Chain A
Amino acid sequence: MKADSGHRDAAQTASPSPERDETPHKVSPADLFTGFLQIGLYGFGGLAAISRHIIVDQRKWLNNQDYAALFGICQALPGGNVINVATILGDRFGGLAGSVAAVSGLFAMPLVLLLLLAAGYDQISGLPDVKAAMAGAAPAAAGLVVGTAIKMMRALKLSYMATGFSLVAFICVAMFRFPLVPTLAFLLPLCVAATFRERRR
């Protein structure tokens, strides 16, 4: 989808940094709300990069290493990566209230903007230029997702075995249109098990 979703970003941010996670800051739910409000608002075309920038560089809530570790956990969990970051970081600083504040902050402005955009689009979607623009934008938005997947596959240098799993997942969902849940329930454990076998050798 948006090009910057995570696997690549986490690899880049993994540069070691001396200090350990002491969470020295007092971060209130209000801080969490405004911090993630910024992330949501500036996150045009993908949240991964801006999320690292705000959390590590600007607010200094975490160092690079701890952010990369947190992001790694969030990628392994279901849910949007940055939504998971907001949930876990919010809890670490402010418990349940912190989590709720961070996730609400992340969604608050983007939801309003998306509705305005959609409502605006509905008003003018009959205009020839707008129709033409959407006829170009929609294929491009789709193409970007394919390109991002290819870019991330290349960056990860997948083994033949791993590439095989990518292909099977693609064929099951894109060609056969299998439902996601059974496909995942079958493929994910198999792929994880195969990865364990591959690494043990």
Chain B
Amino acid sequence: MNESILLRLIVMYATLSLASVGGAPSIVPDLHRQVVDVLGWMSDRQFAETFALAQLAPGPNMMVTSLIGWRVAGLAGLLVSTLAIILPSSTLAFVFGRLYHRFAEAEWFPTFKAGLPPVVLGLMAASGFVTATVAVHDVLGGLLAAGAAVFATLSRRNPLWAIAVAALASIVASRLGIV
């Protein structure tokens, strides 16, 4: 049983690794689709918590995949997930890195590169939206999500401030019995 879970993790993450143009945000909606909707490994609430914890720790935000691996299959799941999400894309980067100057100086490269962000940013917004739909359970949550979105849009401060303030606001609200 456990081995089939590990195999499933490897296949899922190795595929997503090659599709992760734009980094972790691009794959989060699909991660939720597979882990919660298709495989039923986690509830919506657990997924939202896992996502939030991964945001709080320092380091690459791809680690959300490591934490999901750990949640569903322990230490083996963590190791397998981390390697499966890194190796395919890094192998590709390794090869491209060796052909680096051909790309960096090619005439078509800037235009090619400019063609990626529209789709990538649409996926990023989708990632936030999907996570918000599973993380928001009440009016306060909705307000905090909207507030954090405005904060990130307008402010250049570290995004962790928004998470800290939201957590505090939520504690205060619950102590006052508002929520």
Contacts and interface: CB of A to CB of B under 8 A. Distances in A.
Given A75-B116, A79-B23, A170-B126, A142 B57 contact: no
A63 interface: no
B104 interface: yes
Interface in B96-153: 96-98, 100, 103-104, 108-109, 111-132, 135-138, 140-142, 144-153
Contact of B90 (A99, A110, A174, A177): A99
A151 B148 CA distance: 12
Interface residues of A, number: 102
Given A44-B58, A73-B96, A76-B112, A180 B118 contact: no
Interface SS of A by simple majority: helix
Categorize the interface residue count of chain B: 35 or more
B162 interface: yes
A156 B17 CA distance: 25
Contact of B129 (A73, A84, A146, A163): A146
Contact of B122 (A44, A148, A167, A181): A167
A156 B119 CA distance: 13
Interface string B1-34: 0000000000000011111111111111110010
Nearest to B135: A138
B59 A1 contact: no
B90 A7 contact: no
Interface of B: 15-30, 33, 37, 48-64, 66-67, 70-71, 78, 82, 86, 88-90, 92-94, 96-98, 100, 103-104, 108-109, 111-132, 135-138, 140-142, 144-154, 158-160, 162-163, 165-171, 173-175, 179
Interface of A: 1-7, 40-47, 69-70, 72-84, 87-88, 91-92, 96, 99, 103, 106-107, 109-111, 113-115, 117-118, 121, 125, 128-129, 131-154, 156, 158, 162-170, 173-174, 177, 179-181, 184, 187-188, 191-196, 199
